[in-house]
Homo-oligomer: A and B are copies of this chain.
Amino acid sequence: MDTVETRELRYFIAVADELHFGRAAERLGIAQPPLSRAIQQLERRLGVALLHRNRRGVSLTGAGEVLRQEGRAALDATAAAVRRTRRAGGADGPGDTGDHLVLAVKAGAFHELLNKLLDAYANEPGAARIDVLPSGTCEQEGMLRDGRADVALMHTPFNTLAGFDSVALMTEEQVAIVPARHPLATRRTLSLADIADVPDLPLARWSSNGVFPPGPGPEVHDQTQLAQLIALGRTMTVFPESARTWLWHEHAAVPLTDAPKVTTHIAWPAHSRSRALAELVRTASRL
């Protein structure tokens, strides 16, 4: 009586996302009436109103907001349990959790560090296989949370390490990456103020979680796209200085004097018990 089925959580999350029973039911692949009843039953069981029914759509109550947050976390944890269990399917002997790791990295970043890490780890005795999973910007967190990945390389302050165990691997300054032929490229250093409002070089905007921050700059989805736009003299961006490894001839990197430092962490779900993971982290922290 004081628990809840994942089905009910899935249903509620769908309604909370759509704020519309019909669309939510469609998304769930069921009809609308059972969905209505399921939500009613959930509210009865929790003894709490989750939705305001306003005769023209619905809205969340305070408790509904809470359940949306917490329920999503619970669903992620459940999905993670399923994924990781399936993945461990082959490994039979008790004690170890599986035979290989999935490492999530931001696509295109960490080249140098990643190479060193994979090399060093491959030389460890009994090293497990490592699948590198390139992910979208800031997507690593969700991947760790719902089990698509076991371990990730993350950049603070861009990624939040909330909810994970992590070890810091390196810290670096940031550089502005500008078109090589632009006047800014001749500067020895730049400050954030210098690059904030350059009319002909608006800062590129990355999508984080599918939504773009406002601003004049172009919206970019991946690094290649960004690199091209910079080479064309249409935009600029700010990156950790290790990004120098992938610069084109048409790019110039100028150190930023007052940008926050960026720290690369290796992070993993806090309750992980995998031997292979522990080994990888140990290898990483010795680099």
Contact = CB atoms under 8 A, between A and B. Distances in A.
Interface in A66-123: 66-67, 69-71, 73-74, 76-82, 84-98
A85 B48 contact: yes
A67 B81 contact: yes
A7 interface: yes
A74 B85 CA distance: 13
Contacts of A88: 48, 62-63, 65-66
Interface stretch (A160-168, A170-178, A196-204, A223-231): A160-168
Given A69-B271, A88-B66, A271-B69, A3 B163 contact: no
Give the interface residue-count category, chain A.
35 or more
A258 to B, nearest CB: 25
Contacts of A61: 91-92, 94
A96 B63 CA distance: 9
**Residue of A78, A89, A91, A147 with most chain B CB atoms under a 10 A cut-off:** A78
A102 to B, nearest CB: 14
Copies of this chain: 2
Contacts of A69: 97, 271, 273
Interface string A196-223: 0000000000000000000000000000
A193 interface: no
A7 B89 CA distance: 21
Contacts of A89: 46-49, 63
A172 B150 CA distance: 35
Contacts of A273: 69
Contacts of A92: 49, 61-62
A70 B165 CA distance: 15
